[in-house]
Structures are given as C-alpha cells and as structure tokens.
C-alpha cells in the first residue's frame, strides 16, 4: 500500500471514491430532500482541489481512500473529505490517511487541526475522529439537525 499526494490527473478517481462512499453512508441519514447525488461534480471537486491538498491511499493499484489537508491560517489547518470505499472500510485506511495528514500538518508548522461538518448522525465518523484524539468543540445547526466541529492539538 502507499499514500501519495494527488495530482490534477487524479481528480476523476478522487471523485469516484468520494461519491461512492458518500452515497452509501449518507443516504441513510440525510433526508431525501437534502440528499445530493452525486455529492460533487467534476467542476466542484476541481475547485476544492485548488483550495487544499488531496492524498490518496492506494492498495494493489486501486485507490481505496482519499483525504485532504486545508491550511486555514496561522498554525491552523483542516482535515477534509476523508472517504474510504465501503468495501475497504474498517481496515485502518482512514486512520492511516488522517495520521499521514497530521504528520504533513506538523511539517508545515500547523499546531491545530479541525474537522468541520461532522453530521450528528454519522456515528461512524464521530467514533473515528474520537478514537484519533479529536474532540467536539462546536456544533452548528443545519436543516436536519446539526454538525459537530472537531479539533485536535498536534
């Protein structure tokens, strides 16, 4: 396996991983009127790609997970778009990606990492970030409940 920094040519495969993983996970918890599928278009993801650095977890030539690091400002960054293909979940892929991003953030001199928008009903994501040492520091209302904002000091 390897984790590497994505290039523009990887946008299509990142889009595939995000849209497949998102559909399977969030269809169950987002009311139909708010559920978007696919969650991103190629153009939307291309815009995100300009704002942050994406990483890909590759297993035997297959891209099975993605995650991004966004530098927000002085000492602060965000972990964004952590998505693992459903059939590869629960095998440590997500943990490896976030651990890799934390090391990268440390190299960049970031002191704090945030995870914005963790849906209150996404129990898997709440367990995932809690196990990695993130703590909920804020919550914000949205039409179908609220999102947690997690944070960790590096």
Ligand X SMILES: CC(C)(COP(=O)(O)OP(=O)(O)OC[C@H]1O[C@@H](n2cnc3c(N)ncnc32)[C@H](O)[C@@H]1OP(=O)(O)O)[C@@H](O)C(=O)NCCC(=O)NCCS
Could you tell me which stretch among 1-9, 33-41, 91-99, 102-110 binds ligand X (CB under 6 A)?
91-99
For 76, other C-beta atoms within 10 Å of its C-beta total 15
Number of amino acids touching ligand X (CB under 6 A): 19
Residue appearing with tokens 């709440």: 126
For residue 41, give the DSSP letter: -
Are 130 and 16 in contact by the 8 Å Cβ rule? The answer is no
**Under rule CB under 6 A, residue 90 binds ligand X:** yes
d(CA 63, CA 14): 8
**Under rule CB under 6 A, residue 93 binds ligand X:** yes
d(CA 48, CA 108): 20
Which listed residue (34, 42, 124, 138) binds ligand X by CB under 6 A? 124
> Containing H/E element for 62?
strand 62-73
Which listed residue (10, 16, 92, 112) binds ligand X by CB under 6 A? 92
Could you tell me which stretch among 4-12, 28-36, 39-47, 80-88 binds ligand X (CB under 6 A)?
80-88
Q: Which residues pair with 115 in a beta bridge?
A: 150
Q: Site residues for ligand X, window 32-71 (CB under 6 A)?
A: none
Which listed residue (118, 134, 149, 152) binds ligand X by CB under 6 A? 118
Judged by the rule CB under 6 A, the positions of this chain that interact with ligand X are 21, 25, 82-84, 89-95, 118, 122, 124-125, 127-128, 131
């Amino acid at each position: 396996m390897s984790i590497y920094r994505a290039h523009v040519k990887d946008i299509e495969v990142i889009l595939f991983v995000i849209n497949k993983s998102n559909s399977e996970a969030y269809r169950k918890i987002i009311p139909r009127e708010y559920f978007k599928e696919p969650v991103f278009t190629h153009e939307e993801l291309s815009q995100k790609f300009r704002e942050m650095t994406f990483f890909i977890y590759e297993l035997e030539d297959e891209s099975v997970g993605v995650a991004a690091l966004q530098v927000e400002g002085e000492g602060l960054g965000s972990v964004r778009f952590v998505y693992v293909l459903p059939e590869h979940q629960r095998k440590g892929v997500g943990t490896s990606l976030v651990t890799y991003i934390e090391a990268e953030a440390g190299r960049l001199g970031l002191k704090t990492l945030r995870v914005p928008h963790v849906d209150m009903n996404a129990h898997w994501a709440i367990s995932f970030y809690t196990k990695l040492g993130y703590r909920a520091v804020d919550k914000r209302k949205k039409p179908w409940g609220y999102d947690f904002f997690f944070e960790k000091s590096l």
